[in-house]
Amino acid sequence: MARAVTSAGRVVEILRELILDNTFPPGARLAETELAEQLGVSRTPVREALRQLAAEALVELPPNRGARVASWSLDELESVFELRATLEPRLTGMAAARAGEADIAELDELATRMLAVGSPGPDQDRDALVPLNTAFHGKLVRLADAPAFAAALAGAVRTPLIMRNFHAYDDASMRRSLAHHIEIVAAFRAGDPQWATAVMTAHLRNARAVMLRTVAPHSVQRDEQTH
């Protein structure tokens, strides 16, 4: 992991990248001294970087136990998806009833770009999916114009969880996810809120299956560490 680091900001960028691509998996210990040696910096920028990444929910800093890559138990993850499954399909249906032609065109462009960068193959760029996916789902929430629901959903959706989710997708799950975005746009064009709601429900069930498969082994390790 030897890399040239020229600024404290780069320490944050490098550690974030290593966490999100699972070089440092959930629960992995992040020792300041070792990281400083590997990156060729003092411990101070590493310590500052870990604090920033903790603020982003990528790192946990339990008292007197050292930094670790953030992890989620199966129960915590189930709770997140239960809340999302309650709120997000409903918001999507509300958005479908409100969307105009320009809104649908914007969603179509985002879904098409996600298909281009996310489809399995040599040109796939999973990291490029993150801002596109955020923009797509954010657009749905804004169109729904339901501030109370939007606030509750924002509290449940953590970016690190979504980012790691994309890296965890197998080819079949990725194709389903990308197709769901395309189909949601089709439902909007048809002016069919029920269709849009159903597709978002399927979209979340697909994401839930991926995350449970990915997090389960780390959850077992976490339980062992706490007993």
Stretch 191-213: mean pLDDT: 94
Cβ 115 vs Cβ 183: under 8 Å: no
Ordered structural domains, the chain, with CATH: 8-69 (1.10.10.10), 74-225 (1.20.120.530)
* Structure confidence at residue 111 as a pLDDT band (50, 70, 90): very high
Q: pLDDT, tens digit, for every residue of 135-184?
A: 999 999 999 999 999 998 887 776 566 666 788 899 999 999 999 999 99
Tell whether the model's pLDDT for residue 80 goes beyond 80: yes
Hey, what are 61's tokens? 């800093």
Distance in angstroms (rounded) separating the CA atoms of residues 40 and 4: 7
DSSP 122-134: TT--HHHHHHHHH
Q: pLDDT over 70 for what percent of the chain?
A: 88
Return phi, psi of residue 34, to 5°. -65, -45
* Predicted local distance difference test score (pLDDT) of residue 8: 74
DSSP the chain: ------SHHHHHHHHHHHHHTTSS-TT-EE-HHHHHHHHTS-HHHHHHHHHHHHHTTSEE--TTT-EEE----HHHHHHHHHHHHHHHHHHHHHHHHH--HHHHHHHHHHHHHHHHHHSSSTT--HHHHHHHHHHHHHHHHHHHT-HHHHHHHHHH--HHHHHHHHHH--HHHHHHHHHHHHHHHHHHHTT-HHHHHHHHHHHHHHHHHHHHHHHHHHHHHHHHHT-
Q: pLDDT, tens digit, for every residue of 58-79?
A: 899 988 889 999 887 788 888 8
* Structure confidence at residue 130 as a pLDDT band (50, 70, 90): confident
Return phi, psi of residue 68, to 5°. -140, 155
45 residue type, one letter: P
